[in-house]
């Protein structure tokens, strides 16, 4: 989600659940920091235990932030409601597509 792009379900979810929005921002921030440091290591050809350890630390920080976001999404009643609404939209769209493909002219 670079450049501030956000898909429709996440946009809806962040509007409904402030905690999800905060956790998503934490997750995105951790990913950006990890990506930037990884690029820096590649470009400058940094080697050694310190660079490797820092990459692992940043990767673990992102993994933790992502896990917390996923857990919240699964446990939060507001987020579950949005997920159900998304599911019903997907089912409706699939039914419309299915119905239109069975129509013969």
For 57, the enclosing helix (H) or strand (E) is helix 49-75
Q: How far apart are CA 61 and CA 2, in angstroms?
A: 19
- pLDDT score at 14: 63
SS3 47: coil
- pLDDT score at 89: 59
pLDDT in tens, the chain (105 residues): 444 444 555 666 666 789 999 999 999 999 999 999 999 988 887 778 888 899 999 999 999 999 999 999 999 998 988 888 877 655 554 554 455 444 443
């Amino acid at each position: 989600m670079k450049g501030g792009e956000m898909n429709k379900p996440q946009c809806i979810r962040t509007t409904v659940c402030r905690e999800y929005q905060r956790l998503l921002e934490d997750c995105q921030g951790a990913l950006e920091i990890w990506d930037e440091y990884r690029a820096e290591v590649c470009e400058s050809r940094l080697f050694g235990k310190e660079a490797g350890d820092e990459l692992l630390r940043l990767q673990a920080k992102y993994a933790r932030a992502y896990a917390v976001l996923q857990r919240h999404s699964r446990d939060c009643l507001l987020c579950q409601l949005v997920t159900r609404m998304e599911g019903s939209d997907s089912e409706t769209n699939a039914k419309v597509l299915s119905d239109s493909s069975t129509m013969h002219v």
